[in-house]
Amino acid sequence: MSVDSPYTHKVWSEGELSKIVPGGLPYPMLSDPGGRIGQEYMVYDEENGVDIRGRFLIDPDGVLQAIEILAPAVGRNVAEMIRQVKACAYVRENEGEATPAGWEPGKQALKPSPELAGKVCEIWSPEMAF
Amino acid sequence: MTLHIGKPAPEFETSAYMDGEIRRVKLSDYRGQWVMLYFYPGDFTFV
């Protein structure tokens, strides 16, 4: 989503994006004229009239699960975005579990409990964060 | 309107470009699916 019109999105898609991704992007390119939606998501920069780099992960119930907002000159880490979707989906499907730092599918999740308090060091170590 | 993790994302409806067409899209169209909503400063920039 950007403040560009859908016609500008079309020109960008047909002129450039379709050369990078055959057939164009497989999801809608949303238009936010005047930054009305960006204001609600707290990413609208009034001085420059643009929506800055905000990323919002929304679950199947329409509930916010993750937010990231970056300076305009800094690009995002797509792999980390995908990891967060997988981790949020995992804890949604496995009630009572939590994914520690650096968790990826296949790595051990935690079951927070009074018994685990003070003993995380027995099952988790810093190298598991990478 | 403020944003909170664990609370509903602000609903919106707007126009969008996809598959050669311009159409209306609502956030609630995606209920039942995971949604990654990306804002960026302008077309012809990186993500």
Quick one: which H or E segment has residue A83?
A: helix A78-93
Phi, psi angle pair for B3, to nearest 5°: -105, 135
Return the structure tokens found at B5.
Answer: 């993790």
In a domain, A61, yes or no: no
- In chain A, the number of structural domains is 2
In a domain, A97, yes or no: yes
Share of chain A above pLDDT 90, in %: 74
pLDDT in tens, chain B (47 residues): 579 999 999 999 999 999 999 999 999 999 999 999 999 999 998 76
Say if A37 is an interface residue toward chain B (CB within 8 Å).
Answer: yes
Residue A109 sits in which domain range?
73-130
* Residue A72 near residue A84, CB atoms below 8 Å: no
A50–B41 C-beta distance less than 8 A: yes
Q: What is the pLDDT of residues A21-50, one digit of tens each?
A: 998 899 999 999 999 999 999 999 999 999
In a domain, B43, yes or no: no
Residue B27 sits in which domain range?
7-32
Q: What is the rounded distance in angstroms from the CA atom of residue A47 to the CA atom of residue A35?
A: 12
Q: How much is the pLDDT for B24?
A: 98
Coil, strand, or helix at residue A14? helix
Q: What is the pLDDT of residues A84-117, one digit of tens each?
A: 999 999 999 999 999 999 899 999 898 888 888 8
Residues 5-44 of B with CB under 8 A from A: 5-12, 14-20, 22-23, 25, 27-28, 30-44
Asked if residue A130 has pLDDT above 70, the reply is yes
